[in-house]
Structure 1
Amino acid sequence: MSSISDQFTEEEIREADTTNSVDEVEVKSNAISEFISNKLVRGRQERMVQDQESVLREFEAFVYWLDRVHVCMVDDGHVVEFNDHLKHSDRYLTRTHPDVDGLLELDLSDVSRHNILSVLVDFYNFLKEEKGVVSNNPAQQALRSFPEDEFDLTPPDRPRKEMDEMREFLEWLDTPFERAIILTLLKTGVRIGELVNIDLRCVHLGDGAGNTHPLYQRFLDQYDINLISEVRDKPDTMFVYTKFNEGTEIREEIRKHGNKRKDEQGSVIPIDDELKTALLEYLLTRNPPLEHDHRDIAIPLFTKPSSEGTLDRLTYGSVRGQFGEKGSADGVLAEYGWDEQGAPTEENVFMHYFRHYFTDNHKHNHGVYRGWMPAGVIAYIRGDVDKSATVGSERRESTARENTYSHSDWRNYKINIEQPYLDNIYKFGIYDQTVPRRDPLAAPSR
């Protein structure tokens, strides 16, 4: 996209507020491009970065149209007026997405407007903290000035699926691959990007007696895999890394999707008998790889269904292709009738829905499931900050977080994570017989 910064002279650009003279003209002349390039380097998804650039180009056009002001010279009043523009104007000033021709009509929810202003906060924080070319963050100042009722951030109602409806869907799925994917999302609440990053070395499927299941051990031996320390002594668990960004190497592999775990240690998630059965069933039916050296890659848990003799990691695009995007006419969810093209968001089920299903149904007195988990356990499994630790505007270490966010100690993990999780995780009853797991209070194997 062309930049309105081209309309300003070098002298005008130099007049923009600055705290650092290093390359100030170069940075200010390409402020949005610098921000976008930084996002891409850090592994953000290209589509998401395109949307952020569209927001910034619209803001750039607005302040130029309003006061012929450069984006590095705006104040909080410009942001307030931009918010008003988003609420009351009929159309954007710019072509806001490279895949869309012409102007787009404005019809923004409060959530969308808040998200747009949050992009501005991120942009000016980048210019202030990393580039030093502005001395304050006008977007952040503007957001703080709005009245409490300016944005209704209540999420839209999601479709209510009873337990028997979800069971019928799981039984309808055609392949062990589909069942394993959906059950992993339902049982753990992981994000799609985290799901595709799970490696075989991060999963320990047990035999019910404290040892590795012989079938799973066969897979580990086939690829010469050693389990990572986080799960090695914890049968029936999986480890979700805290972060992976594009450009992060695992031996010779480049990860394409980032994890968003908040805790620096990652998460060790218990695996119940139903999910363990689904994972073993999937691995037994997965296409065996051709003979080659596997030592230079981390073997993925989930591979592309189309892989023939290869170990191609499942990707975000593969998941969308198999199950369908939000509002897509194709994919498993559309075929089942749960994701109808053109229907309101609150009436459809899409892949991210299963993360919400896990969370909502395990909160106390929420959802359609009678069991519940402590807030700290849900936060740990999801990879969130434990919101039960929030008191007023201050955040402190609560007992829930102290107990829950430590998986290095075996007994602490079993009592505070594994036991409450297994006592309350929902069961769908899709198998006549499941592969048993060990009593969580039994002593660890040595």
Structure 2
Amino acid sequence: MSSISDAQFSEAEKKEADTTSSVDEIELKSAPIESFISEKRAQNKQNSFVQIQESRLREFEAFLYWLDKIHVCSASDAQIVEFNDFLKNGDRYLTITEPHNGSEGTREINLSDVSRHQILTTLVDFYNYLQMDKGIISNNPAQQALRGFSDDEFDLSPPDRMRIEMDEMREFLDWLDTPFERAIILSLLKTGVRIGELLNEDLQCVHIGDGSGGTHPVYQHILDQYDVSLRSEVRDKPDSVYIYSAFNEETVIDGEERKQGNKRKDDDGSVIPIDDELKTAIIEYLMMRSPPLEHKRTKTRIPLFTKPTSSGGLERLTYSSIRSQFGDHNTDSSGALAEYDWYKQGADTEDNVFMHYFRHYFTDNMKHNHGVYRGWMPTGVIAYIRGDVDKSAVVGSERSESTARENTYSHSDWRNWALNVEAPYLNNIYKFGVYDETLPRQPPQEVQI
């Protein structure tokens, strides 16, 4: 579908476009997309990203012209919903080249869900620009389509992805051989964090409580081994873990180059509660591992999860080593997931369980009336724990970082972590019954409502 120039519209048609200003901005209405893209470039946005945004807007512009010769400033909610349906029903593929069995080859990936969300996000940003920055339209017509998209597809996971019952997941956890494997999988299942965020976790970010408001003596002993002090974010929150805010791979933190980036969207990071099963798994793992011999006591943060080194010590777990351990994307089909017959090399994506699957599992089962678990958390709480940009409220604008959290509570309410995060989490997170006896759980803090 080719782009349609705004020159196709007469000056009178441009004047009739939706406006909230007392002066018709004919010059802007003659080239609104060019104006929007020019501003992006002036903000030093990455050129490749700006080009993608322009391409998305041109496709939408052409669709409106094809639909009924509609100017982009006159688009309605219904027309953008129709555009979303057009994208949903169309065949949208991206051909990529990648190594396969040792040789280069191509394959097609269906981008119908992910690209649709990105296109709608660009439209929200574009119309926010026309409405809030320039004042030439009365409302943002893209909000309804994005909101509806998000309600149905919060996690953007394939609709035919295999579902695992709770008792099946427990059998898998029981089958795992080592405390290391159980701690990794339970961390992903209980928090929905990204793998990179898990690999970047340090001891100072985790506070294992004793059940009565203090630090568990075993964990305190481990902290003392390395002269580690808890971060302020978790120091007064027993049974919690702090997830760092976003940074790129190869970022140097306290003298250590991080090989895996963090994608968490919260500027200040997130504090996630830890229930009795997960804290038991973490302590069991830490008691079984040898101390990391290769660390600089005064400089390097001590990682939570480690792997052996060739010299006999331990170092931070890497993305490649965790994939090797669990058989995720491994050509020889070894590892825990492959051995359990949940991952088969070459099988369709929806038929395999990848490490990222556990993030989807958390999200799907914690949503109301979804998954195979009856407990649930408000969408905003899920978004906070996952570290997401808004996918249920109106987003897509760099000028408006409204999130699903603000759909659930007001902005100031999120400062009351005990009431609005800890309590709904601990009261609803699923239990697998992996341990006959768990460490005492830190009860939700008493708070004044």
With the shorter chain as reference, the TM-score category is 0.5 to 0.7
Deviates more, 1:368-377 or 1:166-175: 368-377
Tell me which residue corresponds to 2:204.
201
Query: What's the CA shift for 1:339?
Result: 1.0
Tell me which residue corresponds to 2:188.
185
Note if 1:378 corresponds to 2:359: no
Note if 1:290 corresponds to 2:309: no
Query: What's the CA shift for 1:174?
Result: 0.3
SS of match in other structure, 1:215: helix
Q: 1:79 to 1:390 in 2, by over 3 A?
A: closer
Distance of 1:392 and 1:254 partners within structure 2: 32
Tell me which residue corresponds to 1:104.
106
Tell me which residue corresponds to 1:52.
none
Q: 1:420 to 1:306 in 2, by over 3 A?
A: same
Q: Are the aligned partners of 2:97 and 2:106 in contact in 1 as well (CA < 8 Å)? A: no
Q: 1:162 aligns with which of 146, 160, 165?
A: 165
Tell me which residue corresponds to 2:356.
352
Distance of 1:338 and 1:402 partners within structure 2: 41
Distance of 2:419 and 2:114 partners within structure 1: 41
Distance of 1:377 and 1:115 partners within structure 2: 21
Q: 1:318 aligns with which of 303, 318, 321?
A: 321
Query: What's the CA shift for 1:246?
Result: 2.1
Note if 1:335 corresponds to 2:336: no
Distance of 1:117 and 1:399 partners within structure 2: 25
| Alignment TM-score, normalising by the size of structure 1 | 0.67
Distance of 2:109 and 2:238 partners within structure 1: 51
Query: What's the CA shift for 1:228?
Result: 0.7
Q: 1:416 aligns with which of 402, 420, 425?
A: 420
Q: 2:407 aligns with which of 398, 404, 415?
A: 398
Q: 1:332 to 1:305 in 2, by over 3 A?
A: farther
| Equivalent AA in structure 1 for residue 177 of structure 2 | D
Q: 1:244 to 1:116 in 2, by over 3 A?
A: closer
Q: Are the aligned partners of 1:389 and 1:400 in contact in 2 as well (CA < 8 Å)? A: no
| Equivalent AA in structure 1 for residue 407 of structure 2 | S
Q: Are the aligned partners of 1:239 and 1:268 in contact in 2 as well (CA < 8 Å)? A: yes
Q: 1:96 to 1:117 in 2, by over 3 A?
A: farther
Distance of 1:88 and 1:206 partners within structure 2: 51
Distance of 2:351 and 2:107 partners within structure 1: 23
Distance of 2:343 and 2:61 partners within structure 1: 40
Distance of 2:423 and 2:347 partners within structure 1: 40
String of CA shifts for 1:243-294, please: whole Å, max 9, x gaps: 1212322110011222121221211001111100000000001122338642
Tell me which residue corresponds to 2:276.
273
Distance of 2:163 and 2:429 partners within structure 1: 18
Query: What's the CA shift for 1:428?
Result: 0.6
Distance of 1:109 and 1:389 partners within structure 2: 22
Deviates more, 1:229-238 or 1:252-261: 252-261
Q: Are the aligned partners of 1:327 and 1:342 in contact in 2 as well (CA < 8 Å)? A: no
Query: What's the CA shift for 1:343?
Result: 2.4
String of CA shifts for 1:324-360, please: whole Å, max 9, x gaps: 2247522210100111223222222111110011111
Distance of 2:177 and 2:235 partners within structure 1: 33
| Equivalent AA in structure 2 for residue 340 of structure 1 | K
SS of match in other structure, 2:409: helix
Tell me which residue corresponds to 1:228.
231
| Equivalent AA in structure 2 for residue 167 of structure 1 | R
Note if 1:434 corresponds to 2:438: yes
User: Superposition RMSD on alpha carbons, in Å?
Assistant: 4.7
Q: 1:293 to 1:258 in 2, by over 3 A?
A: closer
SS of match in other structure, 2:272: strand
Q: 1:158 to 1:326 in 2, by over 3 A?
A: farther
Between the two proteins, the alignment pairs up a number of residues equal to 359
String of CA shifts for 1:290-347, please: whole Å, max 9, x gaps: 3864221011100115576534111111111111224752221010011122322222
| Equivalent AA in structure 2 for residue 175 of structure 1 | T
Q: 1:327 to 1:439 in 2, by over 3 A?
A: same
String of CA shifts for 1:353-404, please: whole Å, max 9, x gaps: 1001111111111111111111111111111135454499995743525266
Distance of 2:396 and 2:263 partners within structure 1: 25
Query: What's the CA shift for 1:76?
Result: 5.7
Q: 1:400 to 1:385 in 2, by over 3 A?
A: farther
Q: 1:157 to 1:307 in 2, by over 3 A?
A: farther
Q: 1:216 aligns with which of 214, 219, 230?
A: 219
- The 5-angstrom pairing of residues 59-78 of structure 1 reads none
| Equivalent AA in structure 1 for residue 112 of structure 2 | D
Q: Are the aligned partners of 1:274 and 1:434 in contact in 2 as well (CA < 8 Å)? A: yes
Runs of 5+ consecutive residues of structure 1 not aligned to the other structure? 1-16, 19-33, 39-55, 57-70, 126-147, 407-411
Q: Are the aligned partners of 1:242 and 1:265 in contact in 2 as well (CA < 8 Å)? A: yes
String of CA shifts for 1:209-240, please: whole Å, max 9, x gaps: 21111111111111111111000111110000
Q: Are the aligned partners of 2:165 and 2:372 in contact in 1 as well (CA < 8 Å)? A: yes
Distance of 2:209 and 2:104 partners within structure 1: 57
Distance of 1:88 and 1:342 partners within structure 2: 23
Q: 1:191 to 1:102 in 2, by over 3 A?
A: closer
Q: Are the aligned partners of 2:413 and 2:420 in contact in 1 as well (CA < 8 Å)? A: yes
SS of match in other structure, 1:398: helix
SS of match in other structure, 2:437: coil
